[in-house]
């Protein structure tokens, strides 16, 4: 009997020492055959972007490979085989500084031998956040390896998908090898997004049936800036789930290799699982002709989002060598939700504080609700009124420039004084400023650049306002009413003018969010959206705001990515674009 | 005799109406054969990034193609042929919203006929700022077309280069068609960078000789955010230059097609002209063992940089629908240089103003030099002291939080109050804020995020400090001493503390800039730099600062790109990276 061990590891990018330590601490004393599988680019972390080309990185990587070789040469238990993702650098001449070729490979490590690259990734994702064709050369053929009489099919991450846009289909070409497979393994570094875990497993079962073999999927854990890796490794056999690792934390699954037994389970209808289908957006168009709307988040998915965001922000905190968070609390939903998420995320030795910065337009309820929330949750709460500074600046402009601050200048400066205070507090206490903008605001530029848009990282930048409400309500259900009901129930307002509410200048969020999702995820035109049943006036207003505010998004902080289409690294558009093409 | 007309056009991205207007205004009355050549992606502009996938863009593009078809069907002069760059969208089914394939093609337009795609770009650049493999499908074969008995070889931009990293070499495969060519045309949308124009022409002559044919190169003019297209179209025949269009403006070249006559000119030795060679950096390592240093900018290149930057910033202004610039003048070199460049760039109806924002640490010479510069150049000069606001904030923090602003918090808030004022002034007067950071500062994070790093666009972000001096001195030589000598001669200082000068915390700029160029353009390791002869202590300090400050660069505004390796869209690195790999 062979045992398969999936190592769902958690290392930073370029954590060469940590990787070697993980290997050295493995229990490799098995009395019978044991196959240990590690994620894609286990040796280096993922994504590396340009640092894969940096000489110091290459040198350090080559040194690690030498260390692994030394370690492997000291192993003697023939029951052990390791498969781990890594990089293979090739040079035209031995002394070249610049590699002529870089491949994303599977290394096989056997006792007493030098690690061997046995397979090169064939399908290099190059859409959205992925730039793999920028750096890597693609593999040209499917491979299996034999070990202990078992025939092992190899795939790396994207290889398990296929697309009508690609000429290659690695799963199909594995089948066309016409060799009987005992198991198929997929080494992944697959970013998290909502609804993706289900899709991976559905596709895995489909592959298991197609190749008549159990299927083992091992994914890394971690977060690199905006990109979160959820782990969620698993094994399936036909339509049967064998085992499932945890989400967002290191884990290990040991599974005795079963015979393929797809036949005794119900066959599911084959579904189309292409990578394009990962990009399906969430608009529901009711058949009865009523208004299209966003798909609502159920409790499980609210919980998953909370896990993803709290994990992602903790990773960023750790890698930035900070131990404190600071948040500007406004009395509105977004900042309260961010505060709640940070509170949920806190680990021993870390701290969190809230700064409330009222203006002359702030209402008493904002103060009370903010204070109530912090008192209940035991979060230090500070008040720093902006009124005096605002008045001082007003007078200064009047006196020095003969030009008083009015209208937009007078609204924006309030938001920017808050940014100023928040950053000064961050400098003072060595705390990471967490941004509080949501995806709806970002999309229409309903924020002030260098004002409420400041921050090291954004938690809500991939959640529409209507979704933020759903997550907030779930938090109150699950986490002892962390967020005062007053905050959830009141009408959203930027409080930059007397009696201002968001709907003065924006359509209702449930309509706006649907329009935005149509533009961003479905890439629909205004005409399409109106045909779907959305109000023409609102569509026009949203498109108009969206296309004028690219400059704000372009200087925004990284946004924890939880959707298939998000602002950030994978969103690439001209800033000063001629936006005629977007008009209705 | 055939005449070749190169149309060096200047359109914004997605300027469908402008493109059609250009076509309709052509003089197509030629009495003998005339071949009109337009740049790559003439119909759409370049780069398009994600908007190439947006439904409204696709719809509008398809409509333009129909309009061009209608226009062409009305033409009757058989002496005319047009070759123009454009996109070809393919759909699996006619009603599909999502294209199954997008190609970057040459359209041939003949009188009375529908425009035909005749060639697909083979070499899709996917390095640095280029993402073409994200969007486009590559052509698989070289093509020639015949018109009026002439055999025309076709290339699109990158096709003229080759690389040891690629399997394809379109120039070579054009040669291998073994057909006699009467002319070769290259339709380009090739971004500007320093020293690139010379390299293009050297390579063109090489191709002309290789293919035994005159070579016509037509490039677009424009600037899309940070990327500048310089035009500089030309024709060569063997090693002979036939004609040369202007830089950074629309132009037209008419050239009577010559016979290939490479033989009668001197043959140059074949040079290696790969795209990697475009990435050569500018470090000079003296053979006598003295300190390595950056290559100095000669007068011609200083002039070219001034042209590129003034053109680029004007394009951004125009597309942002602004007519005014505002700059924070500090009394230092960078802001004075930015002011000078903007002054040089000004067009009728535009205006420029300077704001001087002294703190308690600002020295009298800063005020005097700033005032002198503005008076001489006729630029409105305003003084807005930050001292009062700074003190007000200090007191507020002390009073409300019991924690006075000290050290870094107290330094940074000064820079951020300047940012606050500058943005308020921008809101007040509807002026675009131009950033004043240089590449050296950006590299080591010697700036305050949301403080002196604010702005809509950066002019100096691709110029090292030592290069900024060279350009400033050239401006004083050429443009009537625009910049007071006091500003050029004094020691650089951020003036955030008493008597502060940059070299208190940074190595001398001539050493630091060389180290930075080594890291950024050559991707060298610290060890390599020390081996080159740079001081170990300085190398260590620079690497340390560089790797800790990615977060500042990640929220920076677009930087007009004038080098082969720049910060911005083509610079892709993790922000919260584990930077072990960069250590000495």
Contact (CB, 8 A) for A459 and A223? no
| A-B contacts at Cβ under 8 angstroms | 268
Q: Are A393 and B389 an interchain contact pair (Cβ–Cβ within 8 Å)?
A: yes
Length of chain A as a residue count? 584
- Alpha carbon of B278: minimum distance to chain A alpha carbons (Å): 15
- Alpha carbon of A14: minimum distance to chain B alpha carbons (Å): 6
The per-residue pLDDT for range A309-320, each reduced to its tens digit, is 999 999 999 999
Per-residue model confidence (pLDDT) at position A578: 58
Per-residue model confidence (pLDDT) at position A466: 96
Catalytic residue (choose from B81, B121, B393, B552): B121
Q: Are B400 and A419 an interchain contact pair (Cβ–Cβ within 8 Å)?
A: no
- Smallest CA–CA distance from A15 into chain B, residue: B578
Ranking A63-72, A196-205, B246-255, B298-307 by mean pLDDT, the lowest is A196-205
Active site residue B121: yes
Q: According to DSSP H, which parts of B104-169 are helical?
A: 132-135
Per-residue model confidence (pLDDT) at position B425: 98
Ranking A271-275, A325-329, B31-35 by mean pLDDT, the lowest is A271-275
Q: Are A525 and B403 an interchain contact pair (Cβ–Cβ within 8 Å)?
A: no
- Smallest CA–CA distance from B136 into chain A, residue: A165
Per-residue model confidence (pLDDT) at position B555: 97
Catalytic residue (choose from B34, B40, B467, B517): B40
Structure tokens at B308: 């590129």
Q: Please tell me if residue A582 touches chain B, with a CB cutoff of 8 Å.
A: yes
Residues 439-478 of A with CB under 8 A from B: 449-450, 454, 456
As to burial, measured by CB atoms within 10 angstroms (0-12 exposed, 13-18 middle, 19+ buried), residue B94 is exposed
Residues 353-392 of B with CB under 8 A from A: 382-385, 388-389, 392
User: Given the DSSP bridges, would you call strands A234-237 and A240-244 parallel, antiparallel or unpaired?
Assistant: antiparallel
Q: Are B428 and A417 an interchain contact pair (Cβ–Cβ within 8 Å)?
A: no
Of B16, B377, B415, which is closest to residue A580 (Cα–Cα)?
B16
Q: Are B416 and A412 an interchain contact pair (Cβ–Cβ within 8 Å)?
A: no
Q: Please tell me if residue A544 touches chain B, with a CB cutoff of 8 Å.
A: no
How many CB atoms are located within 10 Å of the residue A243 CB? 14
Distance CA A393, CA A412 (A): 12
Q: Are B47 and A574 an interchain contact pair (Cβ–Cβ within 8 Å)?
A: yes
Catalytic residue (choose from A40, A132, A304, A495): A40
- Smallest CA–CA distance from B62 into chain A, residue: A581
- Alpha carbon of B529: minimum distance to chain A alpha carbons (Å): 11
The per-residue pLDDT for range B396-440, each reduced to its tens digit, is 999 999 999 999 999 999 999 999 999 999 999 999 999 999 999
pLDDT over 80 at B341, yes or no: yes
Mutation to test the B interface, candidates A427, A520, A531, A579, most B Cβ within 10 Å: A427
Structure tokens at B247: 């830089």
- Alpha carbon of A417: minimum distance to chain B alpha carbons (Å): 7
Q: Are A393 and B319 an interchain contact pair (Cβ–Cβ within 8 Å)?
A: no
Q: Are B576 and A225 an interchain contact pair (Cβ–Cβ within 8 Å)?
A: yes
Per-residue model confidence (pLDDT) at position B524: 87
Which one of B45, B320, B450 has the shortest CB-CB distance to A419?
B450
Residues 284-313 of B with CB under 8 A from A: none
Contact (CB, 8 A) for A432 and A325? yes
Per-residue model confidence (pLDDT) at position A499: 76
Per-residue model confidence (pLDDT) at position B521: 87
- Alpha carbon of A196: minimum distance to chain B alpha carbons (Å): 21
Q: Are A580 and B527 an interchain contact pair (Cβ–Cβ within 8 Å)?
A: no
Per-residue model confidence (pLDDT) at position B168: 86
Which one of B55, B558, B579 has the shortest CB-CB distance to A525?
B55
- Smallest CA–CA distance from A571 into chain B, residue: B50
Across the range B8-31, mean pLDDT stands at: 96
Angle (nearest 5°) at CA A308 between A319 and A298: 170
Per-residue model confidence (pLDDT) at position A521: 87
pLDDT over 70 at B582, yes or no: no
* Contact residues, chain B, for A581 at CB < 8 Å: 14, 16, 51, 54, 56-57, 60-61
- Smallest CA–CA distance from A56 into chain B, residue: B525
Per-residue model confidence (pLDDT) at position A273: 41
Per-residue model confidence (pLDDT) at position A288: 83
Active site residue B157: yes
The per-residue pLDDT for range A205-230, each reduced to its tens digit, is 999 999 999 999 999 999 999 999 99
pLDDT over 60 at B344, yes or no: yes
Q: Please tell me if residue B314 touches chain A, with a CB cutoff of 8 Å.
A: no
| pLDDT greater at residue B303 or residue B267 | B303
Complex-level ipTM: 0.94
Distance CA B282, CA B522 (A): 9
Share of chain A above pLDDT 70, in %: 94
Strands (E), A341-417: 351-356, 381-383
Mutation to test the B interface, candidates A435, A451, A581, most B Cβ within 10 Å: A581
The per-residue pLDDT for range A122-169, each reduced to its tens digit, is 999 999 999 999 999 999 999 999 999 999 999 999 999 977 666 789
Across the range B50-55, mean pLDDT stands at: 90
If pLDDT is split at 50, 70 and 90, which confidence band does B274 have? Answer: very low
Q: Are B551 and A527 an interchain contact pair (Cβ–Cβ within 8 Å)?
A: no
For chain A, the helix, strand and coil percentages under 3-state DSSP, each to the nearest 5? 40, 20, 40
- Smallest CA–CA distance from B13 into chain A, residue: A578
Q: Are A405 and B383 an interchain contact pair (Cβ–Cβ within 8 Å)?
A: no
Across the range B80-87, mean pLDDT stands at: 98
Q: Are A574 and B225 an interchain contact pair (Cβ–Cβ within 8 Å)?
A: yes
Q: How far is CA B443 from CA A52, A149, B403, B466, in A?
A: 19, 55, 32, 14
Ranking A270-279, A365-374, B64-73 by mean pLDDT, the lowest is A270-279
Across the range B326-333, mean pLDDT stands at: 96
Domains and CATH numbers, chain B: 3-261 (3.60.110.10), 298-507 (3.40.50.620)
Q: Give chain A's largest Cα–Cα span.
A: 87
* Contact residues, chain A, for B417 at CB < 8 Å: 420
* Contact residues, chain B, for A579 at CB < 8 Å: 14
The per-residue pLDDT for range A418-449, each reduced to its tens digit, is 999 999 999 999 999 999 999 999 999 999 99
Per-residue model confidence (pLDDT) at position A501: 81
- 3-state secondary structure string across A433-487: EEECCCHHHHHHCCCCCCCCCCCCEECCCCCCHHHHHHHHHHHHHHCCCCCCHHH
Per-residue model confidence (pLDDT) at position B276: 44
pLDDT mean across residues, chain B: 92
Per-residue model confidence (pLDDT) at position A580: 56
Q: What is the pTM of this model?
A: 0.95
Active site residue A393: no
Per-residue model confidence (pLDDT) at position A522: 82
Q: Are A224 and B526 an interchain contact pair (Cβ–Cβ within 8 Å)?
A: no
Q: Please tell me if residue B576 touches chain A, with a CB cutoff of 8 Å.
A: yes
Residues 77-136 of B with CB under 8 A from A: 92, 97-98, 100-101, 126-127, 131, 133-134
> Helices H, strands E: what count in chain A?
17, 21
Quote the DSSP letter at residue B556.
P
Q: Please tell me if residue B62 touches chain A, with a CB cutoff of 8 Å.
A: no
pLDDT over 90 at A571, yes or no: yes
The per-residue pLDDT for range A74-133, each reduced to its tens digit, is 999 999 999 999 999 998 877 777 788 999 999 999 999 999 999 999 999 999 999 999
Per-residue model confidence (pLDDT) at position B584: 58
* Contact residues, chain A, for B408 at CB < 8 Å: 427
Distance CA A462, CA A448 (A): 18
- Smallest CA–CA distance from A57 into chain B, residue: B581
pLDDT over 60 at B518, yes or no: yes
If pLDDT is split at 50, 70 and 90, which confidence band does A271 have? Answer: very low
pLDDT over 50 at A18, yes or no: yes
User: Given the DSSP bridges, would you call strands A215-219 and A221-224 parallel, antiparallel or unpaired?
Assistant: unpaired
pLDDT over 80 at B499, yes or no: no
Of A212, A220, A219, A208, which is closest to residue A186 (Cα–Cα)?
A219
Share of chain B above pLDDT 90, in %: 82
Per-residue model confidence (pLDDT) at position B270: 43
Q: Are A423 and B578 an interchain contact pair (Cβ–Cβ within 8 Å)?
A: no
CA B328 to chain centre: 24
Q: Are A49 and B416 an interchain contact pair (Cβ–Cβ within 8 Å)?
A: no
Across the range B342-360, mean pLDDT stands at: 97
């Amino acid at each position: 009997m062979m045992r398969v061990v999936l190592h769902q590891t958690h290392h930073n990018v370029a954590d060469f020492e940590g990787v070697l330590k993980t290997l050295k601490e493995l229990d490799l004393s098995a009395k019978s055959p044991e196959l240990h599988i590690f994620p894609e680019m286990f040796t280096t972390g993922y994504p590396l972007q340009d640092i894969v080309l940096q000489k110091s990185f290459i040198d350090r990587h080559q040194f690690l490979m030498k260390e692994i070789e030394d370690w492997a040469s000291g192993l003697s238990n023939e029951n052990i085989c390791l498969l781990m993702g890594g990089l293979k650098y090739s040079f035209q001449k031995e002394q070249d500084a610049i590699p002529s070729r870089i491949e994303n490979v599977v290394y096989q490590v056997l006792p007493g031998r030098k690690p061997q690259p046995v397979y090169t990734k064939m399908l290099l994702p190059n859409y959205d956040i992925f730039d793999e064709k920028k750096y890597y050369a693609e593999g040209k053929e499917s491979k299996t390896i034999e070990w202990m009489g078992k025939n092992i099919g190899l795939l790396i991450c994207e290889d398990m998908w296929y697309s009508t846009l690609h000429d290659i289909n690695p799963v199909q070409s594995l089948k066309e090898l016409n060799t009987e497979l005992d198991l198929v393994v997929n080494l992944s570094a697959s970013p998290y997004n909502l609804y993706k875990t289900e899709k991976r497993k559905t596709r895995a079962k489909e592959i298991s049936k197609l190749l008549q073999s159990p299927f083992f999927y091992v994914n890394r854990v971690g977060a690199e800036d905006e990109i979160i890796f959820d782990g969620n490794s698993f094994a399936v056999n036909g339509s049967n789930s064998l085992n499932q690792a945890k989400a967002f934390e290191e884990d290990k699954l040991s599974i005795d290799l079963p015979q393929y037994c797809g036949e005794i389970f119900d066959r599911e209808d084959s579904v189309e699982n292409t990578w394009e289908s990962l990009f399906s957006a969430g608009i529901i168009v009711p058949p009865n002709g009523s208004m299209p709307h966003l798909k609502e988040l159920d409790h499980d998915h609210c919980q998953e989002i909370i896990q993803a965001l709290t994990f992602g922000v903790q990773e960023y905190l750790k890698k930035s060598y900070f131990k404190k968070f600071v948040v500007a609390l406004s009395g509105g939903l977004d900042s309260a939700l961010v505060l709640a998420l940070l509170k949920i995320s806190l680990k021993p030795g870390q701290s969190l504080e809230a700064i409330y910065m009222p203006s002359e337009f702030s209402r008493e309820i904002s103060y009370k609700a903010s204070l109530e929330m912090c008192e209940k949750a035991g979060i230090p709460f500070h008040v720093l009124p902006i009124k005096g500074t605002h008045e001082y600046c007003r007078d200064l402009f009047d006196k020095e420039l003969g030009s008083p601050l009015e209208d937009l200048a007078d609204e924006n400066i309030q938001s920017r004084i808050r940014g100023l205070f928040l950053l000064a507090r961050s400098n003072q206490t060595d705390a990471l400023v967490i941004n509080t903008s949501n995806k709806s605001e970002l999309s229409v530029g309903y924020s002030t650049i260098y004002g409420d848009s400041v921050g090291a990282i954004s938690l809500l930048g991939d959640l529409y306002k209507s979704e933020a409400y759903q997550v907030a309500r779930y938090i109150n259900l699950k986490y002892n009413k962390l967020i005062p009901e007053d905050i959830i129930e009141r009408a959203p307002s930027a409080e930059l003018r007397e009696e201002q509410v968001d709907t003065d200048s924006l359509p209702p969020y449930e309509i706006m969010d649907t329009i935005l999702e149509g533009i961003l995820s479905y890439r629909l035109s205004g005409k399409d959206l109106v045909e779907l049943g959305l109000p023409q006036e609102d569509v026009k207003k949203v498109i108009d705001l969206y296309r004028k505010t690219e400059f704000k998004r372009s200087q925004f902080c990284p946004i924890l990515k939880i959707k298939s289409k998000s602002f950030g690294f994978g969103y690439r558009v001209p800033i000063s674009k001629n936006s005629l093409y977007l008009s209705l």
